[in-house]
Amino acid sequence: MKTNTSGKKGISIGCFVVGALLLVVALWLDFLATNGQDFLLTANFNLSMHRGAMLIIGAILILVGLYIFPTETHHRNIINFIFLFPLLFTFFVTVIIPLILGIGYSFTDWDGLRINNVVGLDNYIRAFQSKEFLYSTLLTALFVIVNMVVVNVVAFLLALLCSTKLKAVGFFRASYFLPNLIGGIVLGYIWQFAFSKVLVNYTAALFDYPYSILSDTKMAFMAIIIVYVWQYAGYIMLIYTTGLNTVPREVIEAAAIDGANAIDTLFRIKLPMIASTTTICLFLTLTNAFKMFDVNLALTGGNGSVPDFLGSKLTNGTEMLALNIYSTAINRNDYSLGQAKAVIFFIILAAVSILQVKVTSRNEVEM
């Protein structure tokens, strides 16, 4: 029995060591040696081409080593860890590691290919000095505020409509929700056509304005809001509809017996009862409006003239933060500056989201 245990222990430790080694080599190949040809061991076997397999096999060997390790006390913990591992591993690979790398890149002069120097806070200073970035930040804040109000109001009204006993209510619900199923890029181009080819005929006839509203900065901004509300209100409507359906019938009936009219019922019964739904909806619209990208890109590409902003002429009159980050990195080929802006974006978004959850959760009614 004793030899069996020690044998198992040996195999376990062996697996663990080999696995860890494979993992380290694979990660090293991935981060430090992107040049494939350096690890051409034989004519047809290139070590770095197999780093993915090495990573996976290494991880499995470690898990096997852990599993067969003969222990009574830690057995349950080990099993728990093994079951959690796939999720944690994925989370680390797709979220945590890129986040850390991204923050790291923002302190260098990374150009998408290589790092020549560590430049400290230089990129952050450049980002804050950039009037375009400042403008995009303010514009995004304005967009978020307007959208939080408009999307929620429109969505709530649609939800009221869709929770009545109208005929064909299912059809309405489906058709309001439908725009949300179309991708933002496609939607942007469809609306661009509508604004530039169709609406322009009416503006020309009615206001003697022969150009598309997309060619005027302020009106293009309104156009983005219209498209965004059209796309997003249906989604938020569904959540409100669900919320409204959870309001207990007895409460409404009791209110009716007490003589409450429809308006009273709405403001004094329904709205307080669905406060938690409102929290969710406000939170969703806030973060999503902040991350506005695809409709912005397809509809105006961020263009628009601003004759005077802090003494400079700007040409990115409709460019939100996310698009500004994208165009900094991709169109202007300034990857490290884009990365620094992205980190600032992340901090703003995280702070605002935490704040809002704290504030609105106080108003929730315990059911």
Partner 1 sequence: MKKQLAMALAVAMAASVVLAGCGTTESTSSGGSDSSSSSSSSSSDGGSGGGASLQLLNGKPEIDAQMQDLATKYAEETGNTIEVMTIGGNETASSKLKELKQAGEMPDIFVAEANQFANWQGELADLSGEQWTEDTDVEYVDDEMGTIGFPYMVEAHGLAYNADLLEKAGVDPASLTSPAAYKAAFEKIDGMKDDLGITAVVGWCAEASNLGWSSGTHVFGHYLDAGLDPTDSTYIDMLNDGGTLDESRFTAFGEFIGLLNQYSDPQLLVDGTYDDQVLGFASGKYVFVTQGSWIGATLTGDDSDAYAAAGNFKCGFAPFAFEDGINTILDEPTSYWTVYKDGDVDAAKAFLQWCSEDTAQQIFVEDMGFVSPYNDCSYTATDPFAGAVTEWLGAGKHSSYHTFFKKDGLQDVTSVVFQEYAKGDIASAADFYTEMQKVTTDYYAQ
**Under the criterion CB under 8 A, does residue 56 sit at the interface with partner 1?**
yes
- Least CB distance from residue 286 to partner 1, whole Å? 27
Q: What is the Cα–Cα distance from 99 to 95, expressed in whole angstroms?
A: 6
Report the Cα 266 to chain-centroid distance in Å.
Answer: 33
Site map for partner 1, 16-35, x if CB under 8 A? ------------------xx
Q: Would you state the structure tokens that stand for residue 82, as one six-digit string?
A: 């093994």
DSSP string computed for 128-185: HH-HHHHHHHHHHHHHHHHHHHHHHHHHHHHHHHHTS--TTHHHHHHHHHHHHHS-HH
Q: Please identify which residue in the block is written with the tokens 């006993």.
A: 165
Of the listed pieces 41-49, 163-171, 241-249, 341-349, which binds partner 1 according to CB under 8 A? 41-49
Calculate the alpha carbon distances from 355 to 141, 149, 260, 351, 360 in Å.
15, 18, 35, 6, 9
- For residue 108, what are the β-bridge partners? 118
* 64-88 burial: b if 16+ Cβ within 10 Å, else e: bbbeebeeeeeeeeeeeeeeeeeee
Among 3, 4, 44, 261, binds partner 1 (CB under 8 A): 44
DSSP-derived pairing of the beta strands 312-314 and 40-42: unpaired
- Least CB distance from residue 132 to partner 1, whole Å? 8
Q: Which is nearer to partner 1, 156 or 335 (CB)?
A: 335
Q: Which of 187, 129, 132 is nearest to 318 (CA)?
A: 132
- Least CB distance from residue 108 to partner 1, whole Å? 15
Helix, strand, coil content of the chain in percent (nearest 5):
75, 5, 20
**Under the criterion CB under 8 A, does residue 59 sit at the interface with partner 1?**
yes
Among 5, 77, 246, 331, binds partner 1 (CB under 8 A): 331
Site map for partner 1, 206-235, x if CB under 8 A? ----xxx-xx--------------------
**Under the criterion CB under 8 A, does residue 9 sit at the interface with partner 1?**
no
Q: What is the Cα–Cα distance from 106 to 115, expressed in whole angstroms?
A: 11
- Least CB distance from residue 310 to partner 1, whole Å? 11
- Least CB distance from residue 91 to partner 1, whole Å? 14
Site map for partner 1, 286-325, x if CB under 8 A? -------------xxx-xxx------xx-xx---------
**Under the criterion CB under 8 A, does residue 137 sit at the interface with partner 1?**
no
**Under the criterion CB under 8 A, does residue 43 sit at the interface with partner 1?**
yes
Is 106 in contact with 319 (CB distance < 8 Å)?
A: no
**Under the criterion CB under 8 A, does residue 356 sit at the interface with partner 1?**
no
Of the listed pieces 44-52, 117-125, 231-239, 285-293, which binds partner 1 according to CB under 8 A? 44-52
**Under the criterion CB under 8 A, does residue 164 sit at the interface with partner 1?**
no
Contacting positions for partner 1 (CB under 8 A):
34-37, 40, 43-46, 48-49, 52-53, 55-56, 59-60, 63-64, 67, 79, 82-83, 85-86, 89, 111-113, 126, 130-131, 196, 200, 210-212, 214-215, 299-301, 303-305, 312-313, 315-316, 327, 329-335
